[in-house]
Copies of this chain bind each other. A is one copy, B any other.
Amino acid sequence: MKKVSKSFLKDSYLITELKLCSIRLIDNSKFPWIVLIPKRKKITEIFELKKKDQNLLIKEIVHASKVMKKTFKAFNVNVEKIGNVVSQLHIHIIARSKKDISWPLSVWVTKKKTYNKIILKKTIIKLESSFKV
């Protein structure tokens, strides 16, 4: 299925498939960070989704936000649709901690740092398991 842009494939890892969205872990060890990518072609804005998909999207954002908050004992979650670089619609969900490297600023003020292989594997397994519950 070629519904996920190549840009995501190289720096993220599939966690699970929800009804509307693929959920992928972003390879940045500074923050627990996933993206939700609606499996619809040629959509760049939330308002381009059909009404039914818009409601599915908020439902999946709610579900994924709860999972991220609980799994990483986060203080809060940042939920962001940016799309300036990769245009295919995707929603970032980042579990924030008051002790993380850019708190209270945005995650965008700091450069990414990829995971080491062991932590990456552990994080993927942890998230897969959290989304299965």
Interface centre among A45, A82, A83, A96 (most CB of B within 10 A): A82
Interface positions, chain A 20-42, Cβ under 8 Å from B, are: none
| Copies of this chain in the oligomer | 2
Does A72 belong to the interface (CB within 8 Å)? no
Chain A interface residue bracket vs B: 20 to 34
CA distance A57 to B46 in the complex (A): 12
Query: What chain B residues lie within 8 Å of A108 (beta carbons)?
Result: 105-106, 108-109
Mask: chain A, 57-86; 1 = CB below 8 Å from B; 0 = not: 111011001100100000011111111110
Determine if A65 and B45 form an interchain contact, defined as CB atoms under 8 angstroms apart.
yes
How far does the Cβ of A81 sit from chain B's closest Cβ, in whole Å? Answer: 4
